[in-house]
A and B are shown apart, each in its own frame.
Chain A
Amino acid sequence: MTRCEIQRKTIRRQVLLGLACVAALAATSRWTRTLTATSADGAPSAVTIDNFNFGPRSVAVPAGTTITWTNHDDVPHNVIGTDKSFASPVIDTDQQFSHTFETAGTFKYYCSIHPKMTGEVVVRDPE
């Protein structure tokens, strides 16, 4: 085989492998969920904590979405569901907390350390 043919074969193998990986990942429901959450309706699955505020303060997602909170403040915060259905441990600077919202409903939460900080997750039925 010429060098060109070997190179082409190698590249084709790599591309096929790559495509196989993508297909495998796509087959896992997690990635599909994320794609649905961000692409289908543009709703974020990430909430940041900056200057004692949850941003965005209200997020709307389909059931099954995992929301991840990231604390950017120099003080710890937490995320406590007012109906007690979820409660984070203390989230220090640059730490994260994730929770998957399996059922539909409006889930209000607050920081129990700084209770003026409030937010909500509005969960609709899965697509």
Chain B
Amino acid sequence: MAKKEDEREMDRRGFLECMAWVGTGAVWTMASGILKGTPLEAAAAGALKGNGGLRFVQISDSHIGFDKPANTDVTATLQAAIAKIKSAPERPSFVLHTGDLTHLSKPSEFDTLQQVMSELNLPVFYVPGEHDVLGDEGKSYLQRYGKGTFGAGWQSFDTDGVHFIGLVNVADLKPGGLGTLGTEQLEWLEKDVKSLKSSTPIVVFAHIPLWSVYPEWGWGTDDSAQALSYLKRFGSVSVLNGHIHQVMQKVEGHVTFHTAMSTAFPQPAPGTAPSPGPMKVDSERLRTVLGLSRLSFRGVNHPIAITDVPLIDAS
């Protein structure tokens, strides 16, 4: 009788141990001869990488070519942003530039931008702003940054289990309207995410905000609701934008919206000035309102971590 109970005891214990692994896959790796098992979720989010997690940076609105009072040397402030990225204790994997690379879409401006960005020695992914597609419907922009993209420059890529989608909402803007994604791009987006598991973290990056920040100043996208409907089922969606030259953040369910500072000049907060144009601040203050954003992922059920970093900390 006793033997039977023992067996049952063992079975129950053994059964519970097994149950701990039910519902989780595991990736087994060999490192220095030690077998290590990591639950699949964490593996998907890149916890197998060195220190754990995926790290990247967002910069925006460099406006190379701008030379008005708000900032007479936008190249210098972009260089300061690059230096800050390079000096970070933990190296990011890549950089996202959310548009308005140049101020007037001039070849010399694109040249300077490319020169400065090459100092990073990191992959950079771009989406155009309305200042990058002037006069030639975006041909100069696509010539330089169109490789691997579709239409006006939209694209997607995967890294460390995260799906990145670059959208273009500055092409073919309609009179009286806001940003526009357009039918062709929306159809592409629907197909692009169709076969992804809902547990895949998604990062969308586009120039004009994909939520209604301040329509009176054109700070929104007319057809973003449709785009976001294709992403509704995903457990983690991060939307990274620029265009407004200030940090703004909003969380709606599983979606985190974030806009970055510009590296060139600040703009006023919604409705606090007659127009959204360049805002002149005291020269000592300028580099405290320009900057970049550091982003990282720990795991699929953790929201993205975003830190906004000014070029110089406000004292």
8 Å CB contact of B134 from A51, A52, A113, A116: A113
CA distance A113 to B103 in the complex (A): 12
**Is the CB–CB distance between A114 and B218 below 8 Å?**
yes
- Kindly provide the distance from the CB of B31 to the nearest chain A CB, expressed in whole angstroms: 54
**Is the CB–CB distance between B131 and A113 below 8 Å?**
yes
8 Å CB contact of B274 from A51, A75, A82, A92: A51
Tell me whether A74 is interfacial, beta carbon within 8 Å: yes
CA distance A46 to B215 in the complex (A): 28
Interface residues of A in 1-53 (CB under 8 A from B): 51-53
CA distance A50 to B105 in the complex (A): 22
Tell me whether B278 is interfacial, beta carbon within 8 Å: yes
Give the interface size class of chain A: 20 to 34
**Is the CB–CB distance between A75 and B277 below 8 Å?**
yes
- Kindly provide the distance from the CB of A100 to the nearest chain B CB, expressed in whole angstroms: 22
Interface residues of A in 42-94 (CB under 8 A from B): 51-53, 73-76, 78, 82, 89-90, 92-93
Contact residues in B for A89 (Cβ distance below 8 Å): 135
Given A74-B278, A115-B176, A90 and B134 touching (CB < 8 A)?
A: yes
Beta-carbon nearest neighbor of B218 in chain A: A116
Tell me whether A124 is interfacial, beta carbon within 8 Å: no
Contact residues in A for B70 (Cβ distance below 8 Å): 74
Beta-carbon nearest neighbor of A80 in chain B: B175
* Total B residues in contact with A, Cβ cutoff 8 Å: 25
**Is the CB–CB distance between A74 and B175 below 8 Å?**
no
Tell me whether B36 is interfacial, beta carbon within 8 Å: no
Point out which of A89, A93, A115 has the most chain B C-beta atoms below 10 A from its C-beta: A115
**Is the CB–CB distance between B218 and A115 below 8 Å?**
yes
- Kindly provide the distance from the CB of A15 to the nearest chain B CB, expressed in whole angstroms: 47
Contact residues in B for A93 (Cβ distance below 8 Å): 68
Contact residues in A for B130 (Cβ distance below 8 Å): 113-114
Query: B256-279: contact bitstring with A at CB < 8 Å (1 yes, 0 no)?
Result: 000000000000000000111110
Contact residues in A for B177 (Cβ distance below 8 Å): 115-116
Given A74-B69, A76-B103, A76-B104, A52 and B275 touching (CB < 8 A)?
A: yes
Tell me whether A110 is interfacial, beta carbon within 8 Å: yes
**Is the CB–CB distance between B68 and A116 below 8 Å?**
no
- Kindly provide the distance from the CB of A28 to the nearest chain B CB, expressed in whole angstroms: 33
Tell me whether A112 is interfacial, beta carbon within 8 Å: yes
**Is the CB–CB distance between B175 and A118 below 8 Å?**
yes
CA distance A36 to B216 in the complex (A): 37
**Is the CB–CB distance between B173 and A75 below 8 Å?**
no
- Kindly provide the distance from the CB of B224 to the nearest chain A CB, expressed in whole angstroms: 15
CA distance A109 to B174 in the complex (A): 11
- Kindly provide the distance from the CB of A117 to the nearest chain B CB, expressed in whole angstroms: 8
CA distance A76 to B69 in the complex (A): 15
Given A93-B68, A115-B173, A51 and B275 touching (CB < 8 A)?
A: yes
The interface of chain B, by Cβ under 8 A from chain A, is 68-70, 103-105, 130-131, 134-135, 173-178, 215-218, 274-278
- A–B Cβ pairs within 8 angstroms, 14 of them: A53-B275, A73-B277, A74-B68, A75-B278, A76-B134, A82-B175, A89-B135, A90-B134, A90-B135, A110-B175, A112-B173, A115-B173, A116-B217, A116-B218
Those 3 A-B pairs whose CB atoms lie nearest each other, nearest first? A51-B275, A110-B175, A52-B275
Additional pairs, 15, CB under 8 Å, beyond known A108-B175, A110-B175 = A51-B274, A52-B276, A53-B275, A74-B68, A74-B69, A74-B278, A90-B134, A93-B68, A110-B176, A112-B173, A113-B131, A113-B173, A115-B218, A116-B215, A118-B175
